[in-house]
Amino acid sequence: MKLEDEQLKKKILKKIPEGTTLVGSFFQFRGVSFIIVRNLLKTKIIPNQVSYLEILLLLLSGFLIATGNHLLMITGVITILICIYLDYVDGDLARAKDMVTKRGELLDLTAFYTSQTVFILSPVIVVYIRTRDSRILFIGGLVFLSAILYFVYRGKFSASHYGQMNQGTMRTWDESLRKKLRSKIQQIFKINITSSDLFGTDTRFFALVLGCFFNRLDWVIIYFLISFVYLLIDFYLKHRVKG
């Protein structure tokens, strides 16, 4: 059984980059996914069915958070947590069952953008309903715009450059914004931390969790704005080609 588990892990992780975020390590997303996938292999459940369930639960979580009811908001972030586990499960199950398809990739992308929309819009809706302050809509619009620019830019770059990068044409990045920030945080907190730990998808989820538990979604919106603006600038600087 142990040998079979090791073979399954190798198959699942074959095309997955090494490493994880602090939040991912805390919630053990990959470890829990492996346990679930190991049991799903014995069933007729296919990866796309997991993706459909994830998307439906994401929409439900957005509605629960947007109600502004404290108990329902907490229920909503717990639902999102389940969705993140499912996000790992559908990909791992697809690799384990050799069922990686174009439709599956499209569903995975749909689930990702649905989750980001829920992360951004639900706090904005709650805070605006509570305050009726139009500035919240303006800030929320900036968050949404910066997120779209970041994901579009990252997607275009990924499609044309990932796996085919010529390191000789890339801008030297020894003194990058990312490295400076990472170095400073390591000096202060004495821990190994990356920009993904600070501003990645897992961390945005954790920020939403804290915001819902402490009923301070206004701070979550500000964090999201800082997060996406940083990621956009960071990604542009990192992948800018020498003219």
φ, ψ for residue 38, nearest 5 deg: -60, -35
Residue 200 Cα distances to 20, 23, 97, 155, angstroms = 11, 9, 29, 16
- Residue 160: per-residue pLDDT: 46
- Residue 205: per-residue pLDDT: 87
pLDDT at 143 over 80: yes
- Residue 230: per-residue pLDDT: 82
φ, ψ for residue 191, nearest 5 deg: -130, 155
Q: Which residue has the higher pLDDT, 60 or 243?
A: 60
- Mean pLDDT is highest, among 29-33, 59-63, 164-168, for 59-63
Burial grade of 167 (CB within 10 A; 0-12, 13-18, 19 or more): exposed
- Residue 171: per-residue pLDDT: 37
pLDDT at 232 over 90: no
The DSSP annotation for 154-208 comes to: HHHHHHHHTT---GGGBPP-TT-HHHHHHHHHHHHH-S---HHHHHSHHHHHHHH
φ, ψ for residue 188, nearest 5 deg: -75, -50
**Mean pLDDT confidence for 203-218:** 89
Which fold is adopted by the domain 2-239?
Four Helix Bundle (Hemerythrin (Met), subunit A) (1.20.120)
φ, ψ for residue 235, nearest 5 deg: -65, -40
- Residue 161: per-residue pLDDT: 44
Q: Three-state DSSP class for 216?
A: coil
> Between the CA atoms of 94, 98, 99 and 100, what dihedral angle is there, to the nearest 10 degrees?
70
Tokens 């957005």, residue?
A: 62
**Mean pLDDT confidence for 115-143:** 91
122: confidence class by pLDDT, cuts 50, 70, 90: very high
Please name which of 109, 116, 101 lies closest in space to residue 47, comparing C-alpha atoms. Answer: 101
DSSP bridge pairs for 241: 170
The sign one gets for the Cα dihedral 11, 26, 146, 241 is negative
159-163, 174-178, 213-217: which range is least confident on average?
Answer: 159-163
pLDDT at 4 over 60: no
Residue 4 Cα distances to 16, 31, 40, 46, 86, angstroms = 19, 16, 15, 20, 22
Question: What's the whole-number average pLDDT of the chain?
Answer: 78
> Between the CA atoms of 85, 21, 154 and 185, what dihedral angle is there, to the nearest 10 degrees?
150
In whole angstroms, give the CA distance from residue 127 to residue 120. Answer: 12
pTM of the model: 0.76
**Mean pLDDT confidence for 144-164:** 67
